[in-house]
Amino acid sequence: MSALPHVFDATEANFEAEVIQASLKTPVLVDFWATWCGPCKQLAPILEKIVASYNGTLKLAKVDTDKEQQLAAVFGIRSLPTVVLVKDGQMVDGFMGALPEGQVREFLSRHIPAADAQPEATPEPAAAEKPEDAIARLRREIATAPDKPALKLDLALALMQSGDADAAQTELDALPDSLAQDTKAKRLRNQLDFARVLKDAPDMAALRARLATDANDHAARDLLGVRLLLDGNASAGLDEFLQILRTARAWNDGAAKKRLIAAFSVLDDEDLVGTYRRKMASLLF
């Protein structure tokens, strides 16, 4: 526990009271860190200095991700340090990496009265490549550079996007150990897990019929959520998982929370993911 005023250690046990509820009155900056993380050690004194300068109008909650893995999973922490601002009970913004003091103050000024800050420019989205075109391109590149395993991982992702789950699994299994924990590999693994869930599962109409008969048929709702997610209706699928979390959090060993966390890792829509992370957090905390 920090001895500094307005700085405290956040855990799963106190997060709802000390962060979510407390942010209704005072914004809370949440610092996700680890003892082995060098950039975390660089950022920590900067955050503490800045929070001290707010004289009680801003708090700093420190989350040790090695000890609080569930909290890190709920917020989708993929790199350290990651800093999230919670205000009025909601996660409103965040950043990754050890930013210098000036940039951290600029970040905060967008949400808390402080020095003026210029808004960041929004990058233009890149044109999406069709999976079929990506497969053909990657196979050509692999033929000329077979010693680049990252290309094979990209091929596996493209195969999954085209609907060829078996071929994607084959490519994934052939990857070297150095890529096994890559973020892309984890995303593909979750996509394949979702695809396997639907093997021999009832179709969407049958699942809806089961729910019309029994709204507490959580197994049917879970499968419906997966079908909607893989059919491209991500928000509807996430809503089904949230409904299970809302009404039967402990069902099937907390399957709804696990589904949501896995779904967040396979979706590219950051705004959608952010919205549903906040909805999930409001139910959990």
What lies within 8 Å, CB to CB, of 224 at 6+ separation is 204, 207, 208, 211, 237, 240
Residue 185 CA to residue 109 CA, distance in Å, equals 37
40 is catalytic: yes
Catalytic residue among 7, 20, 22, 37: 37
Amino acid at position 58, single letter: L
Token pair 């205000």 is found at 87
- The answer to whether 5 touches 49, Cβ cutoff 8 Å, is no
* Alpha helices by DSSP H, 162-249: 165-173, 183-197, 204-213, 218-230, 234-247
Q: Is 32 helix (H, G, I), strand (E, B) or coil?
A: strand
| Region label for 164, one of left (φ > 0), alpha (ψ between -120 and 50) or beta (otherwise) | beta
244 is catalytic: no
Paired tokens of 100? 């210098």
Paired tokens of 58? 């801003």
- The answer to whether 239 touches 201, Cβ cutoff 8 Å, is no
Catalytic residue among 7, 10, 29, 40: 40
- The answer to whether 130 touches 106, Cβ cutoff 8 Å, is no
Cross-strand bridge partners of residue 120 = none
Which residues are designated catalytic? Answer: 37, 40
